[in-house]
Structures are given as structure tokens and as C-alpha cells.
Amino acid sequence: MASSGGNTPSSGGSNLREETNQRKIKRMLSNRESARRSRLRKQKHLNDLTTQLSQLRNENDRVMYCINMITQHYMSLEAENLVLGAQVTELGHRLRSLNEIITCLEQPIDDGSWFPGEQYSGLGGGNDSVSHLYVCQPIRASIDMIM
């Protein structure tokens, strides 16, 4: 029994080492699995970021294209606006000139002159003057005058 008693304590120490080794192996395997899951999560996150980057680049390209188109359209409208503004100014000058002509022609002529300050040369009488015909005639503008 002494030998069996001697074997018991040594087999108990062996079991303890074996359990300790098994726990180490189990912990090591658990750590490996945890590291593998962590790498998979990181890889999935990287793939997701790469996909998102691609989508954002596509959207950015589309937005830049829209901005360029809108800028070109704006510049075209700006140029057209300048042309129209110049036309408005020119037409305003023409209208003032025509109104001045009308005002001049509508003035009563008592002294027989055709225009203010000009003496009548003796062709006909005061009311029968040729200038009276011009007063009665409407001024007609054609599209060529506007352009």
C-alpha cells in the first residue's frame, strides 16, 4: 500500500498539470477563435468602408457634373441677360427719340415754319403747310428698327 499511496500523490499532481494544460489549451483556442472573429469583423468593416467610399465617389462625380451643367447654364443666362439689358437701353433711347419727334411734330405752328426756329419759305399758307401733314401721320416702327 505504500507504493500505491506513493502513486496517488504523484498521479494527483499529474492530473493537476493535465487540467492546467487543458485549461491553457482551451484558453489558447478560445483566444484564437476570438482573434479570428476580430479579424473577420475588421475585414467586414473594411469592405463596408470600401463600398461606401465607392458610392460616395460616384455621388460626388454626379454632383460635380450637375454643378458644371448648372454653372454653364448660369453663364449662358448671364450673357443673355447682358444682351437683353443692352437692348432695353437701346430701345429706351429710341423710344425717347421717337417721343421727342412726336412732341415736335404735334406743336402748333402759328408762324408758318416747319420746325421751331425755322421760318416758312412761302410755300402755301400756315394751316395748309406740309408740316401739318406730318402731324397727322402716325409713326410706324418695323421690326428692322428694333433689331
DSSP state string for 26-65: HHHHHHHHHHHHHHHHHHHHHHHHHHHHHHHHHHHHHHHH
Which pLDDT score, from 0 to 100, does residue 138 have? 55
User: Is residue 106 pLDDT above 50, yes or no?
Assistant: yes
Task: Lowest mean pLDDT of 43-57, 95-109, 131-145, name the range.
Answer: 131-145
Which pLDDT score, from 0 to 100, does residue 136 have? 52
Dist CA 140 CA 133 (whole Å): 15
Q: Is 0.75 surpassed by the pTM of this model?
A: no
Dist CA 31 CA 143 (whole Å): 91
Terminal CA-to-CA distance of the chain, rounded, Å?
A: 131
Which pLDDT score, from 0 to 100, does residue 3 have? 47
Identify the band that residue 14 occupies on the pLDDT scale cut at 50, 70 and 90: confident
User: Is residue 28 pLDDT above 70, yes or no?
Assistant: yes
Which pLDDT score, from 0 to 100, does residue 1 have? 45
Cell reading at 104: 415736335
DSSP output for 86-115: HHHHHHHHHHHHHHHHHHHHHS--SSS-SS
Q: Which whole number is the average pLDDT over 54-78?
A: 98
State the amino acid at position 51 in one-letter form: T
User: Is residue 142 pLDDT above 90, yes or no?
Assistant: no
